Structure 1
Amino acid sequence: MNKGIINPLKGKKTTNLYEKYSNIELNNLDKSTNWNHLTNQIILMGTSTGGPGALQTVLTKLPESIRAPIVIVQHMPPGFTKSLANRLNSLSEITVKEAVDGEILQNGTAYIAPGGYHLKMRPFSTKVFVQLDKTNKECIHCPSVDLLFESATSLKEYGKIVVVMTGMGSDGSRGLITLKNSDQVKAIAQSKESCIVYGMPKAAIATNLIDDIENVENIAETILKYL
């Protein structure tokens, strides 16, 4: 892991929230959802403990010419996400920035949700806008991966590539189920072997809706095969 990225402490116990998804009713969905390579694509990433290093590994392998925006929830308190975005921007071919309320998503740019704000997406005509708010008080995390994924159901003309990486708990699993029920989605989970904490990917895998399980160094290549 390169210097400058926040390095979380290892050895923390993860919660067992993923267990509630092990027997969940998934409306007979098949994880091999048809994928038609729609003209419009969007990449959605969720991560927590160990995420800064994982994001660095993935984002620095994406080309500047990538034909999709990337929207990221990294569990972090206010004040830390901007410095993370600046650091990743300095290392990556793509542009990486902290998301701003009301801005239009652009291909080749990664938007990190600010700490303390939920990031949702709203379509208008042919554009997709960022919406930041603090209105949902039921989520454990703010920003929330579940809310990011769920908001993507409004993007009817987009194929979604979902990535769930290292982190505690199960944030993202509920949103993944919602997306797979409603739209064209390909879902990637980080492998246990390459995680700092295996909670979030394990919960996502337990839904039986993950298409690829990859070591972190292979996730960028897997994303690109769906574009």
Structure 2
Amino acid sequence: MFETMLLVVSVGLNAATTYTEAGPDTGMASPVAQAAIAMPVPEPEETGLPEPDTAPSAKTAPAVAPVIEAEPVAQRVAEPQVATGKFTTALEVKPILNATRGNWITLREYQGQDLVYVTHLWAWRCGLLEIRIGINGNTPEIWPMPECHMDQPTPGAILDTDGLPYRGYGLGSVALIEVQLTYDDLTTAGAKYNRDGRLVQ
């Protein structure tokens, strides 16, 4: 009797182990596989954040700097050359400055400095557009001139309010002085001087 019961249990266990996900012999899925197939796939949770946009757009394109065109530089215009008798045009002052080139500048040692004077050029400035001075081979730079005093009998006079017609440099430092003039008729002239004030070119 006991042996018969063991046989029944053994047969039941063998029958249970023959079930697979595909069924024992019928090709049907097992209850576990059927449950897995029937289980719905959960939808992705909404986070409230926008989906990433991988398509290129104008917003992500690199900005191109606008092209800025430089403003044209104003062209100088020659002033009318009419003799006024007051030496206010190139027509009147150019012959004088050409004849006195040796006096355009003066170098003076004073109180531990080299003082470069342009007094002579200031006196005839009313026929000039520009004075440029270069020291020791450096590029000549503009030296401002006072306005002409057209309400005075002598417009080129140097008044106390016009400032000082010189610049100071280290004592003994000035070896070469270059002068470039531009007249109001747009012609130019130039000269170079050594430390003694003598023309070298």
Q: Sort the TM-score into its range (normalised by shorter chain).
A: under 0.3
Larger Rg: 2
Greater relative CO, 1 or 2 (CA 8 Å, sep 6+):
1
TM-score with structure 1 setting the length: 0.24
